[in-house]
Homo-oligomer: A and B are copies of this chain.
């Protein structure tokens, strides 16, 4: 490596805001995956999964690796969020962090059992502990991004099981957007896009009319996009 000047270099980390959707008997709430820190600074405080970027991996690879190592989470929707670089954000010295956010269907994983180094756990977004560093701000940024993006890109499906009912989908949107939606209007609109396939099987064992199950047809969505189609809730 040859640089004309050798500058002192900030340290570079990635941090990932992992969001999930947990259904508590019909209600449903967003949740946040946190790691309990095993080392100083902020030892025993909860923090976002993340760590130092290695020389031989891209930023995204770094985020995926940390997710896997620290929480056992793999194969998820991941998108770069923002890079946090205020001078005093890490007590150890200058650390710049590239933040990502991930959307996860929580039942797809069993969180990594706690080791001496780390312990992973879901917290409801409405009530999670005080976080290390400036991680609370990063979470806030991720939520804003999610709330904006969910309206014009079909990323909500990342939070649901592959088969879902329209009511589940509507509840999810209501939780993310923070307000109620009209059932008939919601159904009409979401179905009008033609990107949901109604499946043969229905939900069984419920003490009311069995709802249909649907699947998001990503391939169809992509081809629609190419012909100028715009998804918008």
Contacts and interface: CB of A to CB of B under 8 A. Distances in A.
Given A59-B83, A85-B59, A87-B57, A4 B98 contact: no
B11 A96 contact: no
Interface in A46-63: 52-60
Interface in A80-96: 80, 82-83, 85-87, 92-94, 96
For this chain, the copies found in one complex come to: 2
Contact of A98 (B39, B85, B93): B85
B3 A11 contact: yes
Size range of the interface on A? 20 to 34
A214 B56 CA distance: 53
Contacts of A206: none
Interface string A1-30: 111110111111000000000000000000
Interface of A: 1-5, 7-12, 39, 52-60, 80, 82-83, 85-87, 92-94, 96, 98
14 contacts: A1-B92, A2-B92, A3-B93, A10-B12, A10-B55, A12-B12, A53-B96, A55-B94, A58-B86, A59-B85, A80-B82, A80-B83, A83-B98, A85-B98
**9 nearest CB pairs, A to B:** A1-B93, A59-B85, A83-B83, A7-B52, A9-B9, A8-B55, A83-B98, A58-B86, A55-B94
